[in-house]
Amino acid sequence: MGHKVHPTGFRLGVIRDWQSRWYADDKSYAEFLSEDLKIRHGIQSGYGDAGISRVEIERQANKVTVTIHTARPGVVIGRGGQRVDEMRNHLEGLIGKRIQLNIVEIQQPELDAYLVARTVAQQLEQRIAYRRAIKQAIFRTRQAGAKGIKVRCSGRLGGAEIARRQTIHDGQLPLQTLRADIDFGMTEARTPLGRIGVEVWIYKGDILPEAKTPEGAPAEVAAAEPGEAAPATETERTAVQAAATQITEEKPAQPEAAQVTEKKPSTPARRRTKPAKATEPEAAQVTEKKPSAPARRRTKPAKATEPEAAQLTEKKPSAPAKRRTKPAKATEPEAAQLTERKPSAPAKRRTKPAKATEPAPPTSAEERDATTEAS
């Protein structure tokens, strides 16, 4: 079995908050839940083309506060707030309670997961290639400043008879990191061949916990100066607070730093006064003794003297002379005998009576008579 976890539900209570914030006992819990579902369904059906990303609901006694986050606030408000009044009356008729509507504009729709998924779904409904739609959405989101994005489409992609799943991602997406600001959105594209599900994950960065200011920190460091603008994002606030803590920690260490700076020039002075270099008479003695060392090395009996070298030169040719006198080669008389004997062997071979020759038969009558007389 799979172990898929919703990214928003996984981070509830850590970096995310609930979209419905109210408390109810056992008797009124079901009633409040059904009212929330009616409010959300009524808003989505009434503003289908307004780019509404999420709806937050809060309850206070008999009053319900609804906050709508949209990319097109002008479409939701209408001319002179006419559409807002119509939607408020419609929702009050659904639940029978007084409702206050708040409209919040989304500054960067490219970084909202639901709006990106809705854009891809609309392109699929217009029969645009799913790969092209996904790649365009990824490119725009990355250009807007997202650190990572993943888009998944499931269904009969490209009009195929067998449904399949296609996933394309870019950048990093740490799903298991709780402090990672990952937005998740899911929607459906209604095509003539069936519905295609679109899921989008967008990683915007890490949300770090706020640094605790020390109790003894001055108010000028803990809070921003009146002339400077307050940090807009949470990361800037944490950076300012971290800088404030460093300043408070480093302030008591200033006198020690001054002492260190006073002691620093004393150390090189002591090193310079050390007798590292020899005096002039000692330097002269060293220069006189230096040539003596190689002279002693040359007088070592490592090399032979001139008479011994002469003896070695006389003895050296004797070794090859002995090798030449070895009876490996024959002398001149023996070589002459060998040269005389060499032609005798083939001569004997030639004089061998290999075959007996027979006299040729007489051809004429006179020769025949001569042969008979001789016999």
List the one residue out of 147, 158, 223, 148 whose CA is nearest residue 189.
158
Please say if the pLDDT value at position 354 is more than 70. no
As given in the structure block, the two tokens for residue 222 are 């803990």
Most confident segment among 64-68, 217-221, 336-340: 64-68
pLDDT average, residue stretch 326-339 = 52
DSSP secondary structure, 290-328, as one string = TTHHHHHHHTSTTS--HHHHHHHHHHTTHHHHHHHTSTT
pLDDT average, residue stretch 327-341 = 52
pLDDT, tens digit (0-9, with 9 covering 90-100), for 17-58: 999 999 999 999 999 999 999 999 999 988 888 889 999 999
For the chain, the domains span 7-107, 111-206, 209-260
Name the band, by pLDDT with cuts 50, 70 and 90, for residue 78: confident
List the one residue out of 12, 305, 11 whose CA is nearest residue 175.
11
Question: If you ran DSSP here, which 8-state letter would residue 213 be given?
Answer: P
As given in the structure block, the two tokens for residue 42 are 């009524």
Least confident of 129-138, 230-239, 260-269: 260-269
Task: Specify the CATH architecture of the domain 7-107.
Answer: 2-Layer Sandwich (3.30)
pLDDT, tens digit (0-9, with 9 covering 90-100), for 84-114: 999 999 999 999 899 999 999 999 999 999 9
Please say if the pLDDT value at position 223 is more than 70. no
What is the pTM for the complete model shown?
0.57
What is the pLDDT at residue 224? 44
What's the distance, Cα to Cα, between the start and end of the chain in Å? 130
Residue predicted with more confidence, 83 or 351? 83
Name the band, by pLDDT with cuts 50, 70 and 90, for residue 226: very low
Please say if the pLDDT value at position 146 is more than 90. yes
Residue predicted with more confidence, 197 or 240? 197
pLDDT, tens digit (0-9, with 9 covering 90-100), for 274-329: 544 545 545 445 444 444 444 455 545 545 455 554 454 455 444 444 555 555 55
Q: Is 329 helix (H, G, I), strand (E, B) or coil?
A: coil
Cα separation, 176 vs 334, in Å, equals 102
Beta bridge partners of 185: 200
Mean pLDDT score across all residues of the chain? 76
Beta strands at 20-21 and 180-191: parallel, antiparallel or unpaired: unpaired
Find out if CATH 3.40.367.20 is the number for domain 111-206.
no
What is the pLDDT at residue 3? 79
Strands ordered across the beta sheet of 164-171:
164-171, 148-155, 194-206, 180-191
Least confident of 39-53, 133-147, 170-184: 39-53
Do residues 212 and 195 make contact, with C-beta atoms less than 8 angstroms apart?
Answer: no
Cα separation, 100 vs 102, in Å, equals 7
What is the pLDDT at residue 4? 85
The b-or-e profile of 16-27 (16+ CB within 10 A means b, else e) is beebeebeeeee
Please say if the pLDDT value at position 60 is more than 70. yes
Name the band, by pLDDT with cuts 50, 70 and 90, for residue 220: very low
Q: What share of the chain in percent tops pLDDT 90?
A: 47
Fold match between 7-107 and 111-206?
Answer: no
What is the pLDDT at residue 306? 54
List the one residue out of 188, 243, 186 whose CA is nearest residue 53.
186
Question: If you ran DSSP here, which 8-state letter would residue 362 be given?
Answer: P
Residue predicted with more confidence, 194 or 309? 194
Residues with Cβ within 8 Å of residue 82, at least 6 apart in sequence: none
Do residues 111 and 53 make contact, with C-beta atoms less than 8 angstroms apart?
Answer: no
